[in-house]
Amino acid sequence: MYSTIFIGTFSKKYTSYVHKRKRNMGEYKFEKWEFKDESLKIEAITHKSFASENPADGPHNERLEWIGDTIITTVVSDYLFFRFPDQKEGTLTKLRSKIVCKEALAKFALKLGLENDLRLGIGALQSGDRSNERILEDAFEAYIGAVYLDSGRNLNEVIKFLEPIVKLFMEELAENGNGLNSSPPRDSEPVYGPINKIIEPSDPNGMLQNWAQSRGFDIPDYKCIENKDNNNKPIFDCEVIIDGKCFGSGSSGKKKEARKKAAICALESFGIYNYNSSPI
């Protein structure tokens, strides 16, 4: 009923999660919802300019737009709340504002190809309003409102339909340097690419543990060996082990710092955190 973008499991090679994709929102198209009630789809793509010129052809989309606006905000809030379990409400609000803004929602409409479906009045067509951001934003909101009603007001179905679009958009935010640093997401899907580019995590060891436990894996185990450097000072070489496999290592004169470096190495290998990226 809706599109699925990426799949993967933890049992596959872990580096497959660090997905160097060249696709972005400008290139990727998503499948439309398969409506059971076609009248909802027609209403969602009907601009008031068309309805005023063709009053016998049904209502315009502003009522659906109204409920769709609320549904989108709810779905995005739900997604961010569980994807970033340790972020404060202020940070989540800032990111949500990037996702539900006019520019982003208009882009989502284009990804669904709604610009080709819009029913516009003659004047709006002559003005080139198929590419008007405000009209596209409104159409997307109305479309999501229609999806919600067509699903039997099943919010989980809307979440499954909308999340792939939001996820890809967030990856693009991260790649453009406008992403959000986070604790690991609690959903069951892998993290694709370094999302964490703004706020450096103060506790990478805890971040890695949360990530592993959220997927049902063992608590990360740190194996540390004390050696001596050329000046006969102690140096600790640590590896972090998850489910019997080493996914990161680090060395330091302090055991705690070596464990931290090992955790950061593992987080980077999974694409959860990019330590070398500059905070914005």
Statement to judge: residues 23 and 157 lie in one domain: yes
Statement to judge: residues 163 and 212 lie in one domain: no
Statement to judge: residues 171 and 220 lie in one domain: no
The residue to which tokens 């890695």 are assigned: 208
Structural domain range at position 104: 19-175
Q: Tell me whether residue 141 is one of the annotated catalytic residues.
A: yes
Residue 8 lies in a domain: no
Statement to judge: residues 25 and 90 lie in one domain: yes
**The two three-digit tokens of residue 119, written as one number:** 């029913």
- Using DSSP, state whether 12 is helix, strand or coil: coil
Residue 242 lies in a domain: yes
Q: What is the DSSP letter of 21?
A: -
pLDDT of residue 184: 40
Residue 187 lies in a domain: no
Last residue of a domain, which of 157, 175, 193?
175
Statement to judge: residues 63 and 132 lie in one domain: yes
Residue 2 lies in a domain: no
Last residue of a domain, which of 158, 175, 192?
175
Whether residue 269 contacts residue 18, with contact meaning beta carbons closer than 8 Å, is answered with yes
Statement to judge: residues 163 and 57 lie in one domain: yes
Q: How far is CA 205 from CA 10, 131, 236, 261, in A?
A: 19, 47, 16, 9
Whether residue 208 contacts residue 191, with contact meaning beta carbons closer than 8 Å, is answered with no
Residue 5 lies in a domain: no
Query: Tens digits of per-residue pLDDT, 259-276?
Result: 999 998 888 887 666 544
Total domains, the chain: 2
What global pTM score does this model have? 0.57
Statement to judge: residues 82 and 164 lie in one domain: yes
pLDDT of residue 72: 95
Assign residue 216 the CATH number of its domain: 3.30.160.20
Assign residue 83 the CATH number of its domain: 1.10.1520.10
Residue 247 lies in a domain: yes
In the set 138, 141, 150, 172, the catalytic residue is 141
Mean pLDDT of 112-140: 93
Whether residue 192 contacts residue 17, with contact meaning beta carbons closer than 8 Å, is answered with yes
Statement to judge: residues 33 and 137 lie in one domain: yes
Residue 274 lies in a domain: no
pLDDT of residue 2: 39
Of 266, 234, 131, 189, whose CA–CA distance to 10 is shortest? 189
In the set 43, 65, 69, 163, the catalytic residue is 69
How far apart are alpha carbons 204 and 259 in whole angstroms? 9
Statement to judge: residues 164 and 257 lie in one domain: no
Statement to judge: residues 123 and 259 lie in one domain: no
How far apart are alpha carbons 18 and 274 in whole angstroms? 11
Mean pLDDT of 132-145: 95
Alpha helix locations (H) across the chain?
Answer: 38-44, 48-53, 62-83, 89-99, 102-111, 122-126, 133-150, 155-175, 204-214, 255-269
Query: Tens digits of per-residue pLDDT, 196-208?
Result: 443 345 678 888 8
Query: Tens digits of per-residue pLDDT, 16-75?
Result: 222 333 345 455 568 899 999 999 999 999 999 999 999 999 999 999 999 999 999 999
Last residue of a domain, which of 135, 160, 175?
175
Whether residue 204 contacts residue 263, with contact meaning beta carbons closer than 8 Å, is answered with yes
Residue 196 lies in a domain: no
pLDDT of residue 89: 82
Statement to judge: residues 211 and 163 lie in one domain: no
Beta-ladder partners of 245: 242
Return the higher-pLDDT residue of 103 and 1: 103
The residue to which tokens 């990727």 are assigned: 28
Statement to judge: residues 144 and 261 lie in one domain: no
